[in-house]
Amino acid sequence: MTSGQAPSLQTELKRCPELWFDDGTIIIRAEDTLFRVYAGQLSRCSPVFKDTFSLPQPPLADGVNELYEGCPLVVLNDSAADIEAFLLAIFDVQCCLKTKDNVVFDNICSFASILRISTKYEAAMIRSQVLRSCLKAFPYTWRTAKKSHFFLEGYLFTTNRAICNSGKIFAFANVARETESNLLLPFLLYLCCRFELPLILDGAISSGEHAILNPENMRSVLVGRRILEHHAITDLMTKLSSHTADLPGHDDKFSTGIRCKNKILGLMIARSSLPKNLLFHDPLCPSPKYSTRRRVLATMCNSCAKWLDDTIELCKKDVWERIPAIFGLDC
Ligand SMILES: [Zn+2]
């Protein structure tokens, strides 16, 4: 936790105003930032911090005492941003941990920091809390997935949403892998697949740093993306081909059987090949524009429209349940 060569206090240090309690009992330094908090509270959250606080700290390189303004000082080799997010999760009652899925997307860097630090310092309660919040944004079960923001059609296509920032998604997927947060990985890797191939290969900027998938994630995404595109074509085609012009329940009052069948054939043709551009052929969002799908459904009889809706839904559910295996995940 403390580095062998403690950094000198001569460096310009700054206090984190949100995490500086005048009656705090311990000062934590990460990079050039100081946090004055309560050792007892931190020890209760993390056995690793508890052990650290009970050990004498090594003297600083330039001979300065390990006390800072009369308060014991602990130097960590983590980033200041990571430690700030983690300490806020403990000491700020308004912390974003208990939150909705869209808040996770907007604060994805903080959630990554809390996940990383709570895992490293074995802060089990904080870790399970942050995982619970993240599972709302990156759902694991189909039931929760359908209720998430992501599946409100069109959400992903709004470019100013944080979710569209590929660098942040890549960085978060790496943290999920490093911290063995296996339930988060299927959806995160699926999100990675949605970006264009050159972007996946080259990486992107996240919080000023270049973020690229780590080798394990990169392999899962490149292999999984190919399999998902295969599913996008074959699964729906196979199921749609079972529609017949005289589907039981077909109602001639609204539309002829041939007209319903033709609509479905049209949909099959549209889905039968990979897109010409480099975009991902997505098995979970077969119809990106909800209004287009509504228009197709509106031209069919009610029974066939319901059949089509149910069939598309069933295909999505089937693919969803296979996603962990597609990415080679054991969860
Ligand atoms: Zn019909």
- pLDDT reported for residue 267: 79
Q: For 275, which DSSP code?
A: -
- pLDDT reported for residue 330: 84
Q: Pick the closest to residue 206 from 318, 71, 110, 330 (CA basis).
A: 110
- Output 93 or 199, whichever has higher pLDDT: 199
Cα–ligand 1 centroid distance for 318 (angstroms):
25
Cα–ligand 1 centroid distance for 307 (angstroms):
9
Instruction: Please state, in angstroms and rounded to a whole number, the distance separating the CA atoms of residues 15 and 221.
Output: 41
Longest dimension (CA), the chain: 91
Helix 215-240 / helix 185-193 crossing angle, nearest 10 deg = 80
Cα–ligand 1 centroid distance for 299 (angstroms):
9
State the residue for tokens 């983590």: 78
- pLDDT reported for residue 292: 62
Q: Which pTM does this prediction carry?
A: 0.83
Q: Which of 137-146, 189-198, 243-252 has the highest mean pLDDT?
A: 189-198
Cα–ligand 1 centroid distance for 289 (angstroms):
22
Q: Residue length, the chain?
A: 331
Cα–ligand 1 centroid distance for 261 (angstroms):
7
Cα–ligand 1 centroid distance for 305 (angstroms):
7
Cα–ligand 1 centroid distance for 42 (angstroms):
64
Cα–ligand 1 centroid distance for 245 (angstroms):
7
Cα–ligand 1 centroid distance for 313 (angstroms):
18
Cα–ligand 1 centroid distance for 268 (angstroms):
16
- pLDDT reported for residue 269: 80
C-alpha torsion 181→107→2→65, nearest 10: -160
With vertex at residue 120, the alpha carbon angle to CA 176 and CA 71, rounded to the nearest 5 degrees, is: 140
DSSP 3-state assignment of 179? coil
- pLDDT reported for residue 150: 66
CA–chain centroid gap for 150, Å, is 11
Cα–ligand 1 centroid distance for 316 (angstroms):
22
Cα–ligand 1 centroid distance for 257 (angstroms):
5
Cα–ligand 1 centroid distance for 247 (angstroms):
7
Cα–ligand 1 centroid distance for 284 (angstroms):
24
- pLDDT reported for residue 209: 87
Cα–ligand 1 centroid distance for 273 (angstroms):
25
Structure tokens given for 82: 């990571």
Instruction: Please state, in angstroms and rounded to a whole number, the distance separating the CA atoms of residues 65 and 9.
Output: 10
* Distances in whole angstroms, Cα of residue 203 to Cα of each of 24, 98, 116, 165: 41, 30, 21, 11
pLDDT band at 286 (very low <50, low <70, confident <90, very high): low
pLDDT band at 109 (very low <50, low <70, confident <90, very high): confident
Is the pLDDT at 58 greater than 70? The verdict is no
- Structure confidence by residue, pLDDT tens digits, 182-202: 999 999 999 899 888 899 999
* Cβ contact 35:20 at 8 Å: yes
Please, which residues have CB within 8 angstroms of residue 207's CB and are 6 or more apart in sequence?
A: 81, 109, 167, 168, 171
Mean pLDDT of 257-266: 84
Quote the radius of gyration of the chain (alpha carbons, Å).
26
Cα–ligand 1 centroid distance for 241 (angstroms):
14
- Which residue spans within 165-305 are E strands per DSSP? 204-206, 209-211
Percent residues over pLDDT 70 in the chain:
82
Cα–ligand 1 centroid distance for 297 (angstroms):
10
Cα–ligand 1 centroid distance for 265 (angstroms):
13
